[in-house]
Amino acid sequence: TILPEGAGMALIYTRRESEVNYPESGGKVSQHDWDYAPRIGLRYEFSPQLQVYGNVSRSVEPPHPWSMIWGSPITFPVGNGPATGRQSTPVALRNQTATTLELGTRGDSWLGQWDLAWYYSAIRHELLSVETQAATATQAPIVGESNASPTVHQGIEAGLNSLLWEKDGVGNVSLRQAYTFSDFHYRNDDRFGSNALPGIPRHYYQAELRYNHPLGFYAGVNTQVASPMAVDYANSYYTSSYRLWGATFGYASPKKDWQTWLDLRNLTRQRYAATVTPGYDDMGKDAARSTPGEGMGAYVGVSYNFR
């Protein structure tokens, strides 16, 4: 049976204004744009345990007014006091648009409950950020944003929740897994060719092995694994891959009215780059663009549902 997943059309009007008036007066940019965002999705059900689906959509993302300032190459000249060297005139930025195709399947089998999806997104005028001025002892880094040449976001997202063992009165053991393959790159850019976009690991894997007791107690171990990611648009330097280990212990009331938990993270004290602030071309140097991830930590929580 073919079932509609949803269809629609959105007409989008965006207005963006940006002006510099302190500590010195500069220029002003005002943008008014109309755009559209249609979407349609279909689902085919072979059986209650097996479905396939597909979606086609168009999305629109307008630039933030601050981006029109920080992405400007026009600055106040020497002699303008504290404004010297700062952006004086905003620049016009186009709306980022993307046309996305997604195909996937989900179901339930002896392996467990699974979901597998492939997507391809052709993007025009993607709003990409880049560090234009490094941080100093007294000043945070300045990050600008601009429209890129055509880019592609494509990848695979897979998830599997498997019941490994179960016994009445004793509990069960389950394994949850999620894998993401991300191929985000330029599409024949004049400067960077088909380089990968920085800040995104190509492979990312998460898993949790968990024991659940019928009375509500549970315990589990988990891991996160990420491949290296580019730090600059020239792909001249990459972060190191990393693997994190954690553990959880908790209790969830069978009445589902309250629960408590202890979450232990990064048990091996792994040092890793959680995020990066992209650079243009670091020429192979290890620039200070990475934000370190959390060290070993313990988090305790309690929640109660009033009803």
- Residue 4 scores a pLDDT above 80: no
Report helix, strand or coil for 66.
helix
pLDDT tens, 222-268?
Answer: 999 999 999 999 999 999 999 999 999 999 998 888 999 999 999 99
Residue extents of the structural domains in the chain: 1-148, 160-179+203-307
User: Rounded to whole angstroms, how far apart are CA atoms 28 and 88?
Assistant: 9
Q: Which of 158, 163, 164 is nearest to 177 (CA)?
A: 158
pLDDT tens, 16-55?
Answer: 888 888 777 777 889 999 999 999 999 999 998 999 999 9
Checking DSSP bridges between strand 203-212 and strand 171-186, what pairing results, if any? antiparallel
Give Cα 203 distance to the centre of its chain: 13
Q: Name beta bridge partners: 214.
A: none
pLDDT at site 19: 86
Give Cα 47 distance to the centre of its chain: 33
Checking DSSP bridges between strand 28-47 and strand 50-61, what pairing results, if any? antiparallel
User: Rounded to whole angstroms, how far apart are CA atoms 59 and 121?
Assistant: 10
Task: Please tell me the pTM assigned to this model.
Answer: 0.90
pLDDT at site 143: 77
26-30, 131-135, 161-165: which has the highest mean pLDDT?
Answer: 161-165
pLDDT at site 84: 78
Q: How confident is the model at residue 295 (pLDDT cuts 50, 70, 90)?
A: very high
User: Rounded to whole angstroms, how far apart are CA atoms 73 and 280?
Assistant: 14
Structure tokens at 279: 């650079």
294 Cβ contact partners less than 8 Å away, ≥ 6 residues apart: 265, 266, 274
- Residue 1 scores a pLDDT above 70: no
pLDDT at site 137: 62
**pLDDT (mean) for 53-78:** 89
User: Rounded to whole angstroms, how far apart are CA atoms 93 and 17?
Assistant: 11
pLDDT tens, 186-199?
Answer: 999 999 999 999 99
Q: What percentage of residues in the chain have a pLDDT greater than 70?
A: 95
**Tokens 């996937």 found at:** 104
Structure tokens at 228: 């290296």
pLDDT at site 102: 98
Report helix, strand or coil for 82.
helix
Q: Which of 286, 281, 60 is nearest to 192 (CA)?
A: 281
Q: Name beta bridge partners: 14.
A: 33
Annotate 205-267 with DSSP letters as a single string. Answer: EEEEEEEE-TTSEEEEEEEEEE---BSBTT---BPPPEEEEEEEEEEE-TTSSEEEEEEEE-T
Mean pLDDT of the chain: 92
Q: Which of 130, 156, 166 is nearest to 280 (CA)?
A: 130
- Residue 7 scores a pLDDT above 90: no
